[in-house]
Amino acid sequence: MDKSQYFYRTVVFTRKAGIIALADINNPQESTELEEWFGAVISLADGKHTLEELAVFMRQQYQQIPTSLDDTLESVIERLIEGKMIKLSEKAVELPYYLAAPIEQLDIEKAQTLIKEDGYTVH
């Protein structure tokens, strides 16, 4: 996996009480909780950081780095790509308003309007 690539989310998410979940912009009260690793990557997938920067950040979260950390992270990234929840890019990506922050920080009406204007469809 080319760790110089930037990674960015393609899903709306929520962050409540430290738990990351997928959110439905048309029904903001509904969410689907993500496993901790998936949630961490989704929340960090802002299009402005590379996979190498993600790996460095994740290593810094541990006093003693688990030997399987890189393999686990690569597996999580591959599964999120397969699930069309993140994408990779050779260049930094500016996320649209409705993907740029957790749903609780968005103006829902504005986000819904922009999604329609962009022709964005939930994957």
pTM more than 0.85: yes
Residue-wise pLDDT tens digits, 45-54: 999 999 999 9
Residue-wise pLDDT tens digits, 2-43: 999 999 999 999 998 889 999 999 998 889 999 999 999 999
| Alpha-carbon distance values, 13 to 50, 66, 113 (Å) | 20, 28, 17
Residue-wise pLDDT tens digits, 103-120: 999 999 999 999 999 988
According to the model, what pLDDT value does residue 18 have?
85
Burial of residue 112, with CB atoms counted within 10 A of its CB: 0-12 exposed, 13-18 middle, 19 or more buried: middle
C-alpha–C-alpha distance, residues 62 and 57, integer Å: 10
**How is the chain split into domains, by residue range?**
6-118
